Amino acid sequence: MKQFIENLPKAELHLHIEGSFEPELMFEIAKRNNIDIPYNSVQEIEKAYQFNCLQDFLNIYYQGASVLIKEADFYDLTYSYLKKCAAQNVRHTEIMFDPQTHTERGVAFETVINGIANACADANEKLGVSSLLIMSYLRHLSEESAFKTLQQSLPFKAKIKAVGLDSSEKGNPPSKFKAVFEASIKEGYVPLAHAGEEGDADYVWEAIDGLKIKRIDHGNNALQDEKLVTEIVARDLALTVCPLSNTALQVVKDLKKHPLKKMMDLGLKITINSDDPAYFGGQVNANYIAVQEALNLSKQELYELAKNSFQYSLLEKNEKKKYIEALDTFYQQEK
């Protein structure tokens, strides 16, 4: 099964580039930028990564991201993640980045987007991994700040496919961002959002009805509301589920109790993702392996999850078809 998962062609649809920041690279970049970080060793960092909830994690995640200053930092961070994609048979990835985490510290929007986008272009050429970018608004900040970010993004529109909504969910409902999502859609961005990770089902309703999102990041708490599940299935909206993130942030106490299989049985379209792999103990393949073991998933179910990752990506129809054909060829040989 492990080998099957490792060789399975797949896409990753829920990945925060700032959450892919491995301790070794963090030390290297902090050093070259002359920034002190409050850890002396990789072991100390790993010890600090114990979380009781989303906010515990976010505090450490924003602190880690604060050593990123120059375009080369964003380039190195992104290229390092894309190399891991290539090694895991991740053929396509949709990368979230949080501009406000950087612009609020005085780093130019341009620095962030150019570093990330150049790494994506190089990886496409050299590693054969394709990618699209999702600009995520931070929901703990104001809608006005999100509007400012939207304005800053416009000269770089060709490099950005979608907008997202992330950070502290509870107390920051999707409705807070209704106007900026409307404006983002008008600019041609595809609307996506985190919903139902810690927030209740009503946040998922707000995200699908109010923000008109095309894919739900996490969505675990949609299961609280039968009518909502029926609606998500009817609208054919996929959920980007992140198993190791869920246990690390105590959204799910034990992987054996993870609702992923139940979600699939209810007809929901599920994909498997790593969210913030440097913080949650595993890349995308580790997530597949962990849920396969915990929930005893079959090869057929793993195939379906991988197929969803292409089908519910933001790629054009013919691109999806190309990737799914490669997956089908693999599956016919290996099932």
Q: Kindly state the smallest distance separating residue 12's Cβ from ligand ADE, in Å.
A: 14
Q: How many of the other CB atoms lie within 10 Å of CB of 318?
A: 7
Question: Of these residues, 12, 197, 206, 304, which one is catalytic?
Answer: 197
User: Cβ distance 43 to 25 under 8 Å?
Assistant: no
- Choose the one of Zn ion, ligand ADE, none that binds residue 285, judging by a C-beta under 5 to 8 angstroms depending on kind: none
54 binds ligand ADE (CB under 6 A): yes
**CB-CB contact of 153 with 180 (8 Å):** no
Among 22, 73, 198, 275, binds Zn ion (CB under 5 A): 275
Could you say whether residue 198 binds Zn ion (CB under 5 A)? Answer: no
CB of 298 to Zn ion, least distance (A): 27
- Report in angstroms how near the CB of residue 266 gets to ligand ADE at its nearest: 22
- Cα–Cα distance, 112 to 239 (Å, whole number): 27
Buried b (16+ CB within 10 A) or exposed e, 93-129: bbbbbbbbbbbeeebebebbbbbbbbbbeebeeeeeb
Supply angle C-alpha 13, 219, 145, rounded to 5. 75
Say whether 44 is catalytic. no
Judged by CB under 6 A, does residue 197 bind ligand ADE? yes
85: partner contacted, choices Zn ion, ligand ADE, none (Cβ within 5-8 A by kind)? none
- The least distance separating Zn ion from the CB of residue 15, rounded to whole angstroms, comes to 8
The reply to whether 22 sits near ligand ADE by the rule CB under 6 A is: no
> Of residues 293-312, which lie at the interface with ligand ADE (CB under 6 A)?
none
Contact 119/82 with Cβ under 8 angstroms? yes
Tokens of 167: 């950070």
Q: Which residues are the active-site residues?
A: 197
